Amino acid sequence: MATFKTVYDIEDVPPLSKSIPLSFQHVFAMFGATILVPLLTGLNPSVTLFCSGLGTLIFHFITKGKVPAYLGSSFAFIAPIIAASKVYGPEGAMTGMIAAGVIYMIVFGIIAVVGLKWINVVLPSIVVGPVVMIIGLSLTPVAIQQSQKGLLTAFVTAGIAIIASVFGKGFLKIIPILLGTVGGYLFAITQGQVDFVAISQASWLALPPLTIVTGHMPVFAWGAVSLIAPIAIVAIVEDVGHLLVIGDTVERDLMHKPGLHRVLLGNGIATALAGFLGGVPETTYGENIGVLAITRVFSVRVIQGAAVIAIILSFIPKVGAAIQTIPQPVLGGITIILYGMIAAIGLRNLIDNKVNMASTRNLLIASVIFTLGVGGISIPIGQYVFQGVGPAAVIGILLNLLLPNDKEVTDTIT
C-alpha cells in the first residue's frame, strides 16, 4: 500500500500555537453544513452547534480517542424532521430524533454480540471503493452550486488552498483550508459579496436555547418516531462508509479497533442527546474527512479542539454570525477540494486493494453503485424516501452477495 507522510498521527498532541488554527480549520469545514440543517428544519443553529461540539466529545470518549472524526448535522433527517414538526410540533419531532439514537444503540448491541466477521463478506473493496467515491461525488453538485454564485471568488479560494497544500512550507502546508477560507473571504469583500449586517445585529453573549434552559421538553409522539427513527438505518450505512474512508486515510483498521460498534454507540448517544436538547441528529462529517486527507493531520486533540470551539461559539452569537457571513462562493471553492478528495480516497481504496476491474462482475457492481449514487436515486417506501448513498450502497451489497465470481461462472460454462 502506498503511504504518505503523516504530519500528526492520531495520538499526537500538537503545540497550542498550531492546534488552535488547525482546530479552526475543522470548524470552518463543518460550520456551513452544520447550521444549514437547523435553518432548513426550523430548529435553532446555536443549539445545534452546541450539540455538535458536545456530541463530538462524547463520540471521542466512547471510541477511546481512536477515530479522528467530527460529528455534525445529518442531512438524511431533514425531510422527516420537517414532516414530523408540521404534524407533532418540534417537541414531538425531538422524540423521533431520540428514537433514532436508540436505533444506533440497538445496532451497536447486535454488532457487539455477533462481531464483525460478516464485514469482509458484505463490504469487500469492490463495494466499499465505489460507495466511498459516491459519498464524495454525490456532494459535488452542492460545491458547484455554491461556486456558481461567484466563480472568480471560488477559483481564488480553491487556488489559495491548492497552492498552500502543494507549495506551502512548514506550518502553512497543513492549514490550506484555513488559508483558502480566509484568503477567499478577503477577496470576496473586495467583490462586495460579504454582508456584515448579521454581525452588527448579533449579541456578544447569549445562552443557547437548550430544552433544559427553555423548559420546552420533548413530548412523545409515536407518529414522529415512525417518521424519523427508521432513517437511522440510512445514516448508519453512511457512517460505515465514512469510517472506512477515515480508516483508509489514517491507514488503520478502525472497523476492529476501536470497532464499528463503538463508533455507532458514540453516534447514537450523540444523536439521542441532541434530540433531547433540541438539536438535530449527528453524523460523522465528510468535509472534515477531506481536511484529514489534505493536511495529513490526524490528531484527535485537534478535532476535540474544534468541538470545544463549536461549544464556545454557541454562546457567542456575534462570532457565529461572522462565520455565517462567509459567502457561498468561498464555501464552494473549499468544498470543490474536500468533496473531490473523498471521491479520490475511494479510488485509492480500489487501487491499493488491487481490485480486478477487468472482471465483468466487478465492473457491473461498480457501475450500478456509481449510477444510482451519483444519479441520486430515490426509493419511496410507505411514508419514507430511501435516497442518495444509502440505496446505492444497499443495492451494491446485494449484487456482491448474489452475483457469482468469475471463476464460478467459468467453471459452470466448462
pLDDT tens for the 414 residues of the chain, in order: 445 677 889 999 999 989 999 999 899 888 777 876 786 677 888 899 999 999 999 999 999 999 999 999 887 787 678 778 888 888 889 999 999 999 999 988 988 888 877 777 777 888 888 887 887 787 788 789 889 999 999 999 999 989 988 888 777 777 787 888 889 999 999 999 888 887 888 788 888 888 888 788 888 888 888 878 877 877 787 788 788 889 988 888 898 889 899 999 999 999 999 999 998 999 888 778 888 888 889 999 999 999 999 999 999 888 777 777 888 899 889 888 877 877 887 888 788 788 898 899 999 999 999 999 888 887 776 666 666 677 888 899 899 999 887 665 544 444
User: Measured at the alpha carbon of residue 362, what is the angle toward residues 143 and 133, in degrees to the nearest 5?
Assistant: 15
User: CA-based Rg of the chain, rounded to a whole angstrom?
Assistant: 21
259: left (phi over 0), alpha (psi -120 to 50) or beta: left
> What is the dihedral sign for C-alpha 141, 142, 148, 150?
negative
Burial class (CB in 10 A: 0-12, 13-18, 19+), 113: exposed
Residues 285 and 70: beta-carbon distance below 8 Å: yes
Give 258: exposed, middle or buried? Use CB within 10 Å, 0-12, 13-18, 19+.
middle
**pTM (predicted TM-score):** 0.75
Amino acid at 177: I
Angle between helices 176-190 and 286-295 (to 10 degrees): 110
46 CA to centre of own chain: 19
Q: How many Å apart are CA 178 and CA 23, to the nearest integer?
A: 10
Distance CA 280, CA 20 (A): 26
Q: Residue 304, SS3?
A: helix
Q: What is the DSSP letter of 72?
A: E
